[in-house]
Amino acid sequence: MSSLEEHITEVEDEISRTKYNKATQLHIGRLKAKLAVLRLERETRAKGKGGGTGYSVRKSGHATVGLVGYPSVGKSTLLNRLTAAESETGAYDFTTLTIIPGMLRWGGASIQILDMPGLVPGASKGKGRGREVISVVRSTDLILFLIDPDHSNLRALQAELEGAGVRINQRPPRIVVQRGDRGGLTVSSTVRLTHLAGGLAAQIAREFGVHNGSIVIREDATADQLIDVLAGNRVYVVALNAVNKAEGLTADQRAKLVVDLAPAEPIFISAREKQGLEALVDRIGGSLKFIRIYMKPPGLPPDKEEPLILRNGDTITELLRRLPGDLHRTFRAAQIWGPSARFPGQTVGRDHVLEDEDIVTVVVARGTARAVAEAP
Distance CA(76)–CA(78), nearest Å, equals 5
Q: What is the bridge-based pairing of β-strands 166-168 and 235-243?
A: parallel
Amino acid type, 258: V
In the complex, what is the shortest distance from the CB of residue 134 to ligand GDP, in angstroms, rounded to a whole number? 17
Q: Name which of 133 and 371 has its Cβ closer to Mg ion.
A: 133
Phi then psi for residue 343, to 5 deg, are -150, 155
**Cβ density class 331-342: b for 16+ within 10 Å, e for less:** bebbbbbbebbe
Query: Could you give phi then psi for residue 31, rounded to 5 degrees?
Result: -60, -40
Binding letters toward ligand GDP, positions 62-91, x by CB under 6 A:
-------x-xxxxxxx-----------xxx
The binder of ligand GDP chosen from 162, 247, 318, 357 (CB under 6 A): 247
**Least distance from Mg ion to the Cβ atom of residue 136, Å:** 14
Q: By C-beta, is 268 or 290 nearer to ligand GDP?
A: 268
Name which of Mg ion, ligand GDP, none residue 135 binds, using a CB cut-off of 5 to 8 Å depending on partner kind: none
Say if residue 151 is exposed, middle or buried (CB neighbours under 10 Å; 0-12, 13-18, 19+). Answer: exposed
**Is 98 among the residues that bind ligand GDP (CB under 6 A)?**
no
x/- binding map, residues 142-171, to ligand GDP, per CB under 6 A? ------------------------------
Helices (H), the chain: 3-17, 25-48, 75-82, 130-138, 155-163, 200-207, 223-231, 251-261, 277-287, 316-322, 327-330
Tell me if 272 contacts ligand GDP by CB under 6 A. Answer: yes
The Cα-based distances of 156 to 126, 162, 163, 224 in angstroms read 15, 10, 10, 18
- Cβ of residue 145: shortest distance to ligand GDP, in angstroms? 12
Q: Judged by CB, which is closer to Mg ion: 75, or 352?
A: 75
Q: Does 271 bind ligand GDP (CB under 6 A)?
A: yes
**Shortest distance, CB of residue 89 to ligand GDP, whole angstroms?**
3
Asked if 72 touches Mg ion (CB under 5 A), the answer is: no
Query: Counting contacts by CB under 5 A, is residue 135 touching Mg ion?
Result: no
C-alpha 153/C-alpha 256 separation (Å) is 12
**DSSP structural state of residue 119:** P
Number of residues that bind ligand GDP (CB under 6 A): 21
- To ligand GDP, the closest distance from the beta carbon of 98 in angstroms equals 12
361 binds, among Mg ion, ligand GDP, none (CB under 5 to 8 A by kind): none
Judged by CB under 6 A, the residue of 64, 95, 225, 340 near ligand GDP is 95
Q: Number of helices (H) and strands (E) in the chain: give both, helices first.
A: 11, 16
Q: Contacts with Mg ion: how many residues (CB under 5 A)? A: 4
Return the one option of ligand GDP, Mg ion, none that residue 340 interacts with (CB less than 5 to 8 A, by type).
none
CA distance 99 to 139: 13
Question: Which does residue 244 bind out of Mg ion, ligand GDP, none, counting CB within 5 to 8 angstroms by kind?
Answer: ligand GDP
Beta carbon of residue 81, minimum distance to Mg ion (angstroms, whole number): 13
313, amino acid identity = G
CB 78, min distance to ligand GDP, A: 7
E strand or H helix at 71: none
Give CA–CA dist 212/179, Å, rounded: 6
135, 140, 270, 335: which one binds ligand GDP (CB under 6 A) = 270
Alpha-carbon gap, residue 269 to 246, rounded angstroms? 6
Map the footprint of Mg ion across residues 80-119, applying CB under 5 A.
95-96
**Contact status, residue 228 vs residue 167, Cβ threshold 8 Å:** yes
Binding residues for ligand GDP (CB under 6 A): 69, 71-77, 89-91, 95-96, 118, 244-245, 247, 270-273
Binding residues for Mg ion (CB under 5 A): 75-76, 95-96
